Amino acid sequence: MPHRICTSEQGNELSYFQRLFGTLLSPDTDLASKLERLFAEETIEFDLSHAFLSRIDLDTETQYFEVVHEPQRSVEAGNTVPLSNTYCRETIEDPDGMMVIDDAFAEGWKDYPAYETLGFRSYIGTTVTSENKLYGTLCFGNATPRETPIAEDEKILVDIFSQWVTYELNQWQGPQIHDPVHGDFAEYDVPSSEIDSLLETVKSRERRLILRSLVDDPTERRLEQIVEPIDADPSEIDLFHTHLPKLEQAGYIRWDRDSNTISRGTNFFEIEPLVGLLDDFTAEFRG
C-alpha cells in the first residue's frame, strides 16, 4: 500500500504535513527521539516495517546503526557491520544518493551479502550529510515486498527527511562528540508557538502562493505577477489588507508600497522549508 501522499484527495495533504512538522519541529526534543517518533509514524505510512539512521565511516568501510525502528537481523541500534555487506554501499555510490529496491529476489539481490545482512526485500535509502560531508544514510525497509512499487512522491518525501536530518546535524555547534544524534539539540528546537504560527500562515492558499513565488525567485517581484495566479478570489482588499500585511509583520516578506513590489523578508528562511515541502506534494502546486 503506498503512502497517503500518493492517494490523498486535493487539500487533504495539509493535515498530514501539519502532523509531520509537529514531529520534525517538536520543541524540547532531541534528534534521536524525533527520529524514533518519525520512524514509528512513517513506517506505517510507507507500509515498510523497519527504518534506521546510520553513520558511515569510509576510512574503515563500516556502517554504524544509530537509531533503529524495529530491529531486523543485524539492523539494531549500536551494531556495526561492514559497509560492503549492506545496500547502503550502493546508496552512497548512486549519483543521486538514493537507492530503491521493490523486490530484492526479483532484482537479483537474494544471494548478495546485503540481503543476508539486512533481510530487506523492499528498501529505500538516501544519504545524509553533515558539514557538506557524508554522514550516513536514512532508510526504510521490509522483509517482504510491498504490494505496490515505491512511487516518485515517496522518494521525494524520503529525500526531504534526509535533508531535515542534515539540517538538524548542522545545527550542532557544541564540542565534537562521537554520537551527535544523541546530543542535546533542545536549544535549537523551534518553540511550539512558532510552529503554530508557521502552520497558520500556510493555511491560506493566497499566502502560500505569495511565498511560493519568492521560493522560485528571490529577487523583487511585482505584485501584478503574484495577483494573477490567485485569480480574483479573494478580493484585492483581502490581499492588500490581510495577507500582505500579515506576511510583512511576520518578517517573511518586504513590501514596497511605492513600487508595488515584494521580496524576501529577514525571516523568510524560517518558513521557506515548509513552503518548499508543500510545493513538492500539494496538488495545488503540481502542473
All domains in the chain, ordered by first residue: 29-184 (3.30.450.40), 192-285 (1.10.10.10)
Distance of CA 125 to the CA centre of its chain: 13
Query: By the 8 A CB rule, do 27 and 177 touch?
Result: no
How deeply is 9 buried, as exposed, middle or buried, from its count of CB atoms within 10 A (0-12, 13-18, 19+)?
exposed
Condensed to tens digits (0 to 9), the pLDDT of residues 4-32 reads: 767 655 555 667 777 787 777 776 778 88
Mean pLDDT of 159-185: 65
Condensed to tens digits (0 to 9), the pLDDT of residues 207-253 reads: 888 888 888 777 788 877 766 555 545 456 677 778 888 888 888 88
Range ranked top by mean pLDDT from 23-27, 52-56, 264-268: 52-56
Confidence of residue 285 (pLDDT cuts 50, 70, 90): very low
pLDDT for position 13 = 66
Between CA 245 and CA 250 the distance in angstroms is: 9
Whether the predicted pLDDT of 142 surpasses 90: yes
Whether the predicted pLDDT of 287 surpasses 80: no
pLDDT for position 186 = 40
pTM, full prediction: 0.65
pLDDT for position 168 = 84
Mean pLDDT check: name the lowest of 62-71, 112-121, 129-138, 233-242.
Answer: 233-242
Whole-Å CA distances, 123 to 120, 135, 158, 180: 6, 19, 11, 25
pLDDT for position 172 = 55
pLDDT > 90: what percent of the chain? Answer: 36
